[in-house]
């Protein structure tokens, strides 16, 4: 564990030397007071980092899971395993990682993609491990590119002088790149547009206060931090022109599951005739689920509600609920901004068409890399 210079872009990356590989993350549980990098050397450490929110954000945990599987494959080589043993081990690692957080589909999507790659034709376990390392790096690079693309599409919806609102953290800390919901804001700011961002604190873990406010401050984007209960007031009196949020999973009909409190913000935006934009990569869209009600909602430790940084803020022994996410019905969503373009109602047909293109491109890329990999050095 080493201190690292503050970063406003990027939160997960791969490091490797002749002796060992590491999954590196910024420990988000310590921000903004400390900026610390963790170098994870075992897949169980990766799983723990996801579970304990040291790394969070749907795209970021997808990339982290892919890196974790690559790490497991390379580490397992030291035990002199056969290809079949290595593939079996990878299935077990994938199942372990998928259990960490059930709502964000990017994690399971990345795991499935890594497993498919592992089941290609390889001469031995070493070839498979190097191919998985390369596949994880491709997933990370794709996320960086997707963030840039979402930023460009979304920035076109922002006018010079706009005041915007965001909920939770969907910036660089939530991705391998510049973010999902914050990417349009960064891109607009970089283009010289004068914007001001209202940042919901996002109880109970305060991702808005701790992470989004820190990110925007690092990037020089003007902001105002507000409590979650202030959103309606500032929608009425604060001149807010649009809301930008991320997503952890989007159902086939356009229903969106995102951080708890998002649904309330969407309802308020509708009441005040404010556009409500969801920004997410195509990997967040889950066409296997027809409606958002079918998306599993993670239930976290109630102590996140009754305690704040180890200090009790509620009566001892009180019952508390702590769903990590809520579902926003598609009728409250003005548009979904992806790396492939902006999708508007009716979402059912539009999302299917979008994902068909996305999946065709991914399949073409895999075929282009070939089903068989020769020996490669690390």
Catalytic sites, residue numbers = 248
> What is the edge-to-edge ordering of all strands in the sheet holding 163-166?
223-226, 196-200, 163-166, 240-245, 276-279, 335-338, 341-343
| Tokens found for residue 189 | 């700011």
State the DSSP string of 90-140. Answer: HHHHHHHHHTT-SS-HHHHHHHHHHHHHHTSEESSHHHHHHHHHHHHHHHH
CB 350 within 8 A of CB 343: yes
Look-up: residue for tokens 């790149």? 177
| Tokens found for residue 359 | 């999946």
Distance CA(72)–CA(88), nearest Å, equals 12
CB atoms < 10 A from the CB of 310, how many?
Answer: 6
CB 357 within 8 A of CB 340: yes
């Amino acid at each position: 564990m080493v201190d690292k210079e503050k970063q406003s872009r990027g939160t997960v990356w791969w490091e490797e030397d002749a002796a060992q590989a590491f999954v590196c993350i910024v420990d988000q549980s310590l921000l903004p007071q400390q900026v610390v990098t963790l170098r994870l050397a075992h897949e169980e450490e990766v799983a723990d980092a996801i579970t304990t929110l040291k790394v969070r954000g749907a795209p970021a945990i997808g990339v982290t899971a892919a890196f974790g599987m690559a790490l497991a494959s390379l580490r397992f080589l030291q035990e002199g395993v056969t290809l079949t043993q290595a593939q079996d081990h990878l299935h077990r690692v994938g199942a372990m990682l998928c259990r960490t957080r059930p709502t964000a589909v990017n994690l399971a999507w990345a795991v499935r993609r890594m497993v498919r790659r592992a089941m290609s034709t390889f001469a031995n376990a070493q070839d498979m491990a190097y191919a998985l390392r390369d596949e994880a790096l491709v997933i990370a690079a794709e996320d960086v590119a997707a963030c840039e693309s979402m930023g460009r599409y979304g920035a076109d919806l922002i006018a010079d002088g706009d005041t915007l609102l965001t909920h939770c953290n969907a910036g660089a800390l939530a991705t391998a790149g510049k973010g999902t919901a914050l990417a349009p804001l960064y891109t607009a700011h970089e283009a010289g547009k004068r914007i001001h961002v209202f940042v919901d604190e996002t109880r109970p873990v305060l991702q808005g206060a701790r992470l989004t406010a820190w990110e925007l401050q690092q990037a020089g984007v003007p902001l105002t931090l507000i409590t979650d209960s202030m959103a309606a007031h500032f929608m009425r009196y604060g001149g807010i022109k649009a809301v930008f949020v991320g997503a952890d999973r989007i159902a086939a009909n356009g229903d969106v599951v995102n951080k708890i409190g998002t649904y309330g913000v969407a309802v308020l935006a509708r009441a005040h005739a404010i556009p409500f934009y969801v920004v997410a990569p195509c990997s967040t869209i889950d066409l296997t689920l027809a409606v958002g009600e079918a998306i599993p909602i993670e239930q976290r430790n109630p102590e996140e509600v009754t305690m704040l940084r180890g200090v009790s803020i509620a009566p001892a022994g009180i019952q508390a609920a702590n769903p990590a996410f809520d579902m926003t019905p598609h009728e409250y969503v003005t548009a979904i901004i992806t790396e492939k373009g902006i999708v508007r109602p009716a979402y059912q047909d539009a999302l299917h068409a979008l994902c068909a293109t996305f999946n065709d491109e991914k399949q073409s890329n895999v075929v282009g890399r070939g089903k068989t990999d020769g020996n490669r050095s690390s």
